[in-house]
Amino acid sequence: MEARDKLDRIAAGYQDAFIMLTSLRLGVFDALAGGTRTPAALAAELGLDARALDTVLHALAAVGILVKDGEGFRLDPDCGPLLASDSPTTMASIYRHHDRLSRRWMRLEETLRTGEPVPREAAVREPREHRDYICGMENISRSSSRDVAAAIDFSAARRLLDVGGGPGTASLVFAAANPALRCVVFDLPETTAIARGQIAASGLADRVTAVDGDFHVDGFGDGFDVVYVSNIIHMLTPDDTAMIARKAHAALVPGGRLMFKDFYLDDTRTAPAHAARFSVNMLVGTAGGQSYTLTEAKAIMAAAGFGGFTEAPVGGRSLVVVGTRS
């Protein structure tokens, strides 16, 4: 029955995901952050059907997201801080992003027939959707950035460029850990607006700044000791990834380092499973993105003039590959 159990878990996996993500979208977890609530009281507050919500709350308790307490429900103490929007350890933004991604995944058949990504519902992201996406990057970057700061020696670096740096999480972590380091977050204007808010709140505005730019068309400047590219290349074609590497080479001082952090596949492309699955996410969402193998990433970096490669596991599922400008 091992094969049957495996296939059953995969086939029904969407059910728990939709129960959790729909509850998040409707504000159930934020409402429960204040304490135990009965289904009737919660339904009245959120404008939901009491019977339907009662059924969903029991399902959430069955998988350990909620705890049933008499006639009421409360957040599990371990899950609650990850689901409540105002928690310092929240993952709510990235989970809301997954909620939106699920709508694309349901149209995977179209991509398999056409080879094209699923069209966006709107030409551009709505402000709330964009903020959830960017703040979702902060959710997942907090831990991995600390791992990078611990694994990589930045002590000799004075200037770091964070390409596609999103909310600036990595730059803020690196600057906090290295008092001599100044960081520049390089991203699109709608994203740097969010980054500037994070920077202002951090107390590190004297050493972390944000610069508007599009890495597809703009140069990176020069005089940097480190160019850091985190969770970017999986969105890009090999040609565009090579372009990033060449621009990084031009921006770095001799001996400077390019760092590609991402989810990497082994050379069989079948492991690790999360990276293979993420490649499908890029298939439905981008015109040419993919999960790269380590061999592919290093070959692209080498062609741009980097060598002396090292790598370090970070964040549980990622690797940072470091190449030195030769």
Question: How many domains does the chain contain in total?
Answer: 2
* Per-residue pLDDT at 123 exceeds 70: no
* Per-residue pLDDT at 12 exceeds 90: yes
Nearest in space to 184 (alpha carbons), one of 224, 240, 244:
224
- Asked if residues 167 and 198 have their Cβ atoms less than 8 Å apart, the reply is yes
Q: Is 261 inside a domain boundary?
A: yes
Whole-number pLDDT of residue 118:
94
pLDDT tens string 27-60: 999 999 999 999 999 999 999 999 999 999 999 9
* Per-residue pLDDT at 245 exceeds 70: yes
Q: Is 302 inside a domain boundary?
A: yes
- Asked if residues 248 and 258 have their Cβ atoms less than 8 Å apart, the reply is yes
Q: Do 151 and 247 have their domain in common?
A: yes
Band of pLDDT at residue 316, cut at 50, 70 and 90: confident
* Per-residue pLDDT at 284 exceeds 90: yes
168: left (phi over 0), alpha (psi -120 to 50) or beta: left
pLDDT tens string 141-199: 999 999 999 999 999 999 999 999 999 999 999 999 999 999 999 999 999 999 999 99
- Where is the domain boundary, 54, 70, 90? 90
Strands 182-187 and 66-69 come out as: unpaired
Q: Is 104 inside a domain boundary?
A: no
Q: Is 282 inside a domain boundary?
A: yes
- Where is the domain boundary, 59, 90, 121? 90
CA angle at residue 138 from 200 to 182, to 5 degrees? 50
DSSP state of 181: -
Residue range 291-313: mean pLDDT, rounded: 98
Domain that holds residue 78: 2-90
Sign of CA pseudo-dihedral 174, 322, 258, 236: negative
- Where is the domain boundary, 47, 72, 90? 90
DSSP state of 234: G
Q: What is the share, in percent, of the chain residues with pLDDT greater than 90?
A: 92
Q: Do 159 and 261 have their domain in common?
A: yes
Q: Is 113 inside a domain boundary?
A: no
The structure tokens listed for 35 are 């304490």
Whole-number pLDDT of residue 124:
65
**Could you tell me the CATH number of the domain that includes residue 71?**
1.10.10.10
18: left (phi over 0), alpha (psi -120 to 50) or beta: alpha
Q: Do 192 and 311 have their domain in common?
A: yes
Q: Is 55 inside a domain boundary?
A: yes
